[in-house]
Amino acid sequence: MEKAELLEEIRCELGLLLQDVQDKKEWYDTVIHLLKSRIPNYRSIFVYLTDETSFNYYTHLSDGKEIYQEKIYFGDEMLSIVAARGEISCDFIPGGQKIYIPFYRGHHLMGEMIIMTSQFVDYDELKFIKNIQTMLSTAPF
């Protein structure tokens, strides 16, 4: 199966699953499990949720032991820069890329998903990631 076909299949599957979701945390878990299990070059996927002052670690799936911070205050780290931009951002890391995906309810920042890949993201995958961003933003309360 070609990459574009795989991404479209996953997008459709997530679209169907979104119809049955009752809880936003259940939805975030569903998304990261599906992405991690179906896309082999996604080494790690993290989700941080926000409160009034910070990003708070929610969960992650990883091929190895990844170091993460439990709490990242607004203004610190790349998460805040990405949130201020309001759009998906990428950093190059050894052996791949780190993709930051902020998600919002209207103008309210709900959190960010971080995907660490072992390959570079192409145009088709960026379109797919934008769909993931939209789906994360439409999670039920």
Higher pLDDT, 66 or 120: 120
**φ, ψ at 114 (rounded to 5°):** -120, 125
- pTM for this prediction: 0.93
pLDDT one-digit tens code per residue, 98-141: 999 999 998 899 999 999 999 999 999 999 999 999 999 987 76
Please, how many CA atoms are within 13 Å of residue 77, restricted to the half-sphere of its CB?
A: 15
What burial class does residue 62 get, using C-beta atoms within 10 Å of its C-beta: 0-12 exposed, 13-18 middle, 19+ buried? middle
| Residue 23 near residue 17, CB atoms below 8 Å | no
- CA-nearest of 132, 118, 136, 113 to 8 is 132
Average pLDDT, whole number, for the chain?
Answer: 92
- The confidence score (pLDDT) of residue 78 equals 94
Yes or no: domain 3-137 corresponds to CATH 3.30.450.40: yes
* pLDDT score for 18: 86
Who's near 71: CB < 8 A, 6+ residues apart?
Answer: 54, 55, 56, 57
Give the chain's largest Cα–Cα span: 44
- pLDDT mean over 33-57: 96
pLDDT tens, residue by residue, 35-46: 999 999 999 999
DSSP conformational letter for 20: T
Half-sphere exposure of 56 (CA within 13 A, CB side): 7
* pLDDT value of position 1: 63
